[in-house]
Amino acid sequence: MKVAWAGSRHAVEVADRMACLVASDPVFRKDTRTMLSRKELFKDTLKKAAHAWKRTVELHLTEEEANLLRLYIDQPGYVDLHWVMFVPAIKGQGTEEQQKKWLTMAYKFQIIGTYAQTELGHGSNVQGLETTATFDPSTDEFIMHSPTLTSSKWWPGGLGKTSTHAVVYARLITEGKDYGIHGFIMQLRSLDDHSPLPGITIGDIGGKFGSGAYNSMDNGVMRLDHVRIPRDQMLMRLAQVTREGKYVHSDVPKQLLYGTMVYVRQTIVADASRALSRAVCIAVRYGAIRKQFGSKAGGPETQVLNYKTQQSRLFPFLASAYAFRFVGQWLKWLYTDVTQKLESKDFSTLPEAHACTAGLKSVTTSATADAIEECQKLCGGHGYLNSSGLPELFAVNLPACTYEGDNVVLLLQVARFLMKTVSQVASGKQPVGTTAYMGNIQHLMQCKSVVNTVEDWLNPAAIKEVFEARALRMAVNCAQNISKAPSQEEGFSELSPDLVEAAVAHVQLIIVTKFIEKLQEDILGHGVKEQLQKLCGIYALHLIHNERLGKLYAQVRPNAVALVDAFDYTDHYLGSALGRYDGDVYSALYKEAWKDPLNETVVPDGYQEHLRPLLKQQLKLSRL
Ligand SMILES: CCCCCCCCCCCCCCCCCCCCCCC/C=C/C(=O)SCCNC(=O)CCNC(=O)[C@H](O)C(C)(C)COP(=O)(O)OP(=O)(O)OC[C@H]1O[C@@H](n2cnc3c(N)ncnc32)[C@H](O)[C@@H]1OP(=O)(O)O
Ligand SMILES: Cc1cc2nc3c(=O)[nH]c(=O)nc-3n(C[C@H](O)[C@H](O)[C@H](O)COP(=O)(O)OP(=O)(O)OC[C@H]3O[C@@H](n4cnc5c(N)ncnc54)[C@H](O)[C@@H]3O)c2cc1C
């Protein structure tokens, strides 16, 4: 099962090696992270990042190994934005010459970059951004400016205190005309003393949800006061401004401006499956240790994992963790395929890649945030302690519902794609890829489900048909209702809640389909495929209705702990007293409690100042 989860034996081996490297290095300790002040936490992140880079260079780590190293260090920091957004933005939107110049420095960490798109006033509506980049032909420069308070850049990770450079998104103005949003490379801080360059006001936006968690990241605010940059710092793969100030389009679609977001959304699906699997691992292992109540006859107490209610709340998450993992692996393939096509100037699959990344990012991160919260409840009171690992896991993953596109906004993008596809089907065009099922419209609009028993849910063809019929009927229903509205725009707006549901149904179909396709591959190991078939059945059935699932849960229960052990997480990475591999939960909780700064003294700070006078006063009063 470890191999099925990781993707290959090689993947298991590399992941194990990197996880052990991190777990055995004292610099990467994280057990007291939630007790650090913001300043201490930030400094700790700088230290970890520098040490990680040193180890990466010393050990000549490959890209795959370095990524895993970062993953197991498990602390958001400026390096994420540098590697996951700054570098890809230059790769996707820069010319070859620009790539050569900037990526050479970025790959060696001679500069640290971030992705500065969102502003105080606008995040979702990228076309509404206000920062301006006005071309001055007299000096061959762009003047970068924040004309209003709401145009202040707000949120970019690493911007607050660390980044030396950024790809800044701004409205390009030349020859008096506004050409909309484009990307520009800007140096923000001196490479000598790290002070902000003239005209740039920059700082951190303040503490965020939860202790520890995303507070390790210096999300930043930046205002620009007529800052000049050379013309060649406009990213010029999509469009150029000539020396004379003429605006020239390239032959690539302008949507490639959004390409970095497509890339990151795809990586976020993998992050979601990992976060969900960690929460499930903690809740399942703890559920096997925790006992409450016994039989009336005075028998031994029951493991809480044996309660049917616990199983019906927890096992759909276990199944979802596997489902998201497999769809994430497929999405990575899809992204690579689209990128290769783009390189040979085939842009035909871009809309589908956008819909798939946006939809899957949205559905998997929302489900994961909800599931982590529920896993806290599934662990009872102990789940609410920082030492359970769950509060921080929740706080770090919750913003994934918002960053890289608010989940509802992204689902509306999927819905827009679906409405277009329905109208193309109506005019006789055969849909392809993840919407190919819509071509089977006659049958799917009328067919009746053959699913009656739990066993039927293990029949892939029956499952697929149910999900296809559901998704198609919801999409067609929306399209029909939109066509009755006075205008397409009004209809879309009026029906947006239904459109979001139709988009979710389509995305769930993709997840179910990819799970089924995974089961058609050669899967080695005794009983592994059978367990995955049950999990696939649970994933599909829990989305439709909860009846009849008990039988499947009973079949999964004997292997539940093994199914979470297959995630192959070290105790260091899991960071949970409840989810420990050895099950020694109570000693761990007890030990963790004593690490709290409140326990550094027996009598607390503040006793002399506030508690003692209060108690003495009450004592005096009672004697009167
Ligand atoms: C300490 C450790 C040290 C280790 C050291 C070792 C180093 C080793 C390596 C380290 C590796 C690091 C690994 C890190 C792992 C961590 C990973 C996690 C990182 C996550 C970080 C997240 C940070 C967050 C960043 C952000 O949030 S950036 C900002 C994101 N913003 C958004 O997403 C905005 C959302 N809005 C939009 O996308 C758009 O505005 C809109 C799509 C909603 C609307 O667009 P528009 O206004 O143009 O309107 P339309 O709807 O009309 O669209 C026009 C047409 O364009 C199509 N379209 C839209 N979007 C896209 C797209 N993306 N691609 C393609 N096409 C698109 C529409 O469909 C329309 O088309 P049509 O006209 O044909 O219909
Ligand atoms: C932790 C974190 C890290 C981030 N890192 C970065 C970064 O590195 N770089 C960067 O540039 N940005 C970053 N961001 C910003 C992020 O991309 C935006 O917050 C995100 O795109 C959402 O935009 P918004 O904040 O403007 O939300 P809003 O659009 O203001 O959303 C508010 C509400 O309005 C709803 N809404 C908005 N538009 C519509 C619509 N058309 N129809 C229906 N409902 C709608 C949303 O669903 C939501 O409920 C980060 C954000 C967070 C939280």
Last residue of a domain, which of 544, 565, 586?
565
Q: Which residue of the set 130, 141, 352, 404 is catalytic?
A: 404
Report the pLDDT value the prediction gives residue 327, as an integer from 0 to 100. 98
User: What's the start-to-end Cα distance of the chain, in Å?
Assistant: 73
Indicate whether 217 and 266 sit together in one domain.
Answer: no
Whichever domain contains 489, its CATH number is 1.20.140.10
Q: Is 118 in the pocket of ligand 2 (CB under 6 A)?
A: yes
Residue 70 is assigned to a structural domain of this protein: yes
Strands (E), 17-140: 113-116, 132-136
Q: In the predicted model, is pLDDT for residue 132 greater than 90?
A: yes
User: Are 174 and 284 in the same domain?
Assistant: no
Are residue 378 and residue 523 in the same domain, yes or no? yes
Query: Tokens representing 620?
Result: 């005096």
DSSP state of 222: E
Establish if 473 belongs to a structural domain: yes
Does residue 296 have a pLDDT over 80? no
Write the pLDDT tens digit of every residue in 510-532.
999 999 999 999 999 999 999 99
In a domain, 81, yes or no: no
Closest residue (by CA) to atom 16 of ligand 2?
Answer: 403
Only one residue has tokens 């965020």, namely 208
**Pairwise CA distance, residues 541 & 559, whole Å:** 20
Q: Tell me, what's the ipTM?
A: 0.97
List Cα–Cα distances, 30 to 27, 42, 138, 209, 392, in angstroms. Answer: 9, 13, 54, 18, 11
User: pLDDT category, 456, cuts 50, 70, 90?
Assistant: confident
Nearest ligand 1 atom to the CA of 118 is 29
Question: Same domain for 36 and 137?
Answer: no
Structural domain contains residue 603:
no
| pLDDT tens digits for range 255-289 | 899 999 999 999 999 999 999 999 999 999 999 99
Atom of ligand 1 nearest to the CA of 416: 75
Please tell me the number of the ligand nearest to residue 404's CA: 1
Binning pLDDT at 50, 70 and 90, where does residue 298 land? confident
Mutate to test the pocket of ligand 2, among 150, 154, 403, 499 (most ligand atoms within 8 A of CB): 403
Q: Which helix (H) or strand (E) holds 493?
A: helix 488-494
Ligand number with the minimum distance to the CA of 406: 2
> Which ligand is in closest contact with the Cα of 167?
2
Q: Provide the domain count of the chain.
A: 3
Q: Residue of the nearest CA to atom 30 in ligand 1? A: 404
- Whether 577 is in a domain gets the answer no
pLDDT by residue (tens digit) across 361-409? 999 999 999 999 999 999 999 999 999 999 999 999 999 999 999 999 9
DSSP string spanning 291-339?
Answer: EEEE-TTS-PEEEGGGSHHHHHHHHHHHHHHHHHHHHHHHHHHHHHHHH
Do 46 and 177 reside in the same domain of the chain? no
Last residue of a domain, one of 565, 583, 598: 565
Determine the Cα–Cα distance for residues 111 and 194; give it in Å rounded to an integer: 11
| Residues ≥6 apart with Cβ < 8 Å to 516 | 460, 463, 464, 536
In which order are the strands placed within the sheet that holds 220-224?
Answer: 153-154, 220-224, 200-204
Taking the C-alpha atoms of residue 451 and residue 347, their distance in angstroms, rounded to an integer, is 40
Instruction: Take atom 38 of ligand 1 and give the residue whose Cα is closest.
Output: 405
CA distance 417 to 219: 32
- Name the phi and psi angles at 603, rounded to 5: -95, 125
Is 413's C-beta closer than 6 angstroms to any atom of ligand 1?
yes
Same domain, residue pair 137 and 175: yes
Q: Contacts by 49-54 with C-beta closer than 8 Å and gap 24+?
A: 49/77, 49/78, 49/79, 51/25, 51/27, 52/28, 52/79, 53/79, 53/109
**Given phi > 0 = left and psi -120 to 50 = alpha, else beta, which region is 155?**
left
Domain containing 283 equals 259-429+457-565
Give the residue whose CA is nearest to atom 51 of ligand 2: 403
Residue nearest to atom 21 of ligand 2 (CA): 405
The reply to whether ligand 1 has any atom less than 6 angstroms from the CB of 216 is no
Ligand 2 binding pocket includes 115 (Cβ within 6 Å):
yes
Please tell me if the CB atom of residue 576 comes closer than 6 angstroms to any atom of ligand 1.
no
HSE of 37, CA atoms in CB hemisphere, 13 A: 2
Residues 168 and 291 in one domain: no
Ligand 1 proximity of 409 Cβ (cutoff 6 Å): yes
Give residue 622's pLDDT.
81
* Ligand 1 pocket test, candidate residues 154, 354, 356, 496, most atoms within 8 A of CB: 354
In this structure, the answer to whether residues 409 and 349 fall within a common structural domain is yes
Tell me, in angstroms, the distance from the centre of ligand 1 to residue 117's CA: 10
Chain centre distance of CA 351: 21
**Whether 131 contacts 168, CB under 8 Å:** yes
Q: If you average pLDDT over residues 121-150, what whole number do you get?
A: 98
Q: What is the CATH number of the domain that holds 238?
A: 2.40.110.10
- Answer yes or no: is the C-beta of 52 below 6 A from any ligand 1 atom: yes
- The Cα angle at residue 590 between residues 588 and 595, in degrees rounded to 5: 95
Give me the helix-helix angle, 496-519 and 407-426, nearest 10°: 80
Q: CA–CA separation, 87 vs 255, rounded Å?
A: 18
Interval between CA 608 and ligand 1 midpoint (Å): 54
**Contact criterion met (CB below 8 Å) for 141 and 200:** no
**Residue owning the nearest CA to atom 74 of ligand 1:** 351
Q: Do the domain assignments include residue 440?
A: no
Please give the pLDDT value at position 252: 87
For ligand 2, whether the C-beta of 402 sits within 6 Å is yes
Phi, psi (5° rounding) for residue 166? -155, 150
For residue 592, tell me if it sits in a domain.
Answer: no
Residue 419: the pLDDT is 98
Q: How far is the CA of 612 from the centre of ligand 1 (A)?
A: 56
Q: d(Cα 105, Cα 231) in Å, to the nearest integer?
A: 19
Q: Are 205 and 220 in contact (CB under 8 A)?
A: yes
In tens, the pLDDT along 313-362 reads: 999 999 999 999 999 999 999 999 999 999 888 999 999 999 999 999 99
Strands, DSSP E only, in 335-379?
none
Which residues line the annotated binding site for FAD? 118, 157
3-class secondary-structure state, position 202: strand
Decide: 42 in ligand 1 pocket, CB within 6 A.
Answer: no
Active-site annotation holds for 465: no
Of the listed ligands, the closest to the CA of 71 is: 1
The pLDDT assigned to 83 comes to 98
Query: Which residue has the CA at smallest separation from atom 44 of ligand 1?
Result: 125
Nearest-CA neighbor of 323 among 463, 436, 439, 470?
A: 463
Please report the DSSP string for 542-579 in residue order: HHH--TTTHHHHHHHGGGHHHHHHTT---HHHH--STT
* Tokens of residue 612, six digits: 């003692």
Ligand 2 binding pocket includes 81 (Cβ within 6 Å): yes
pLDDT at position 292: 95
| CA distance linking residue 458 with residue 464, whole number of Å | 11
Q: Give the single-character DSSP code of 129.
A: -
Last residue of a domain, one of 199, 218, 250: 250
Looking at the CA of residue 208, tell me the nearest atom of ligand 2: 1
The chain-wide mean pLDDT, for the chain, equals 96
Q: What is the distance in A from the centroid of ligand 1 to the CA of 263?
A: 7
- Residue 621 pLDDT level (bands cut at 50, 70, 90): confident
pLDDT-derived band at 449 (thresholds 50, 70, 90) equals confident
Per the DSSP assignment, residues forming a β-bridge with 50 are none
SS3 state of residue 403: coil
Q: Range with the lowest mean pLDDT among 154-158, 552-556, 614-618? A: 614-618
- Do 114 and 194 belong together in one domain? yes
- pLDDT value at 500 more than 90: yes
Give, in order, the Cα–Cα distances in Å from 468 to each of 352, 541, 542. Answer: 17, 14, 16
Q: What is the mean pLDDT of residues 129-149?
A: 98
Q: Are residues 62 and 148 in the same domain?
A: no
Best residue for ligand 1 mutational test, from 255, 257, 339 (most atoms within 8 Å of Cβ): 255
| Ligand 2 within 6 A of CB of 76 | no
| 85 half-sphere exposure, CB direction, 13 A CA radius | 30
Same domain, 350 and 466: yes
Going by alpha carbons, the residue nearest to atom 7 of ligand 2 is 156
Specify whether the backbone of 606 is left (phi greater than 0), alpha (psi in -120 to 50) or beta: left
In this structure, are 264 and 124 located in the same domain?
A: no
pLDDT at 623: 80
Decide if 209 is inside a domain: yes
CATH of the domain at 38: 1.10.540.10
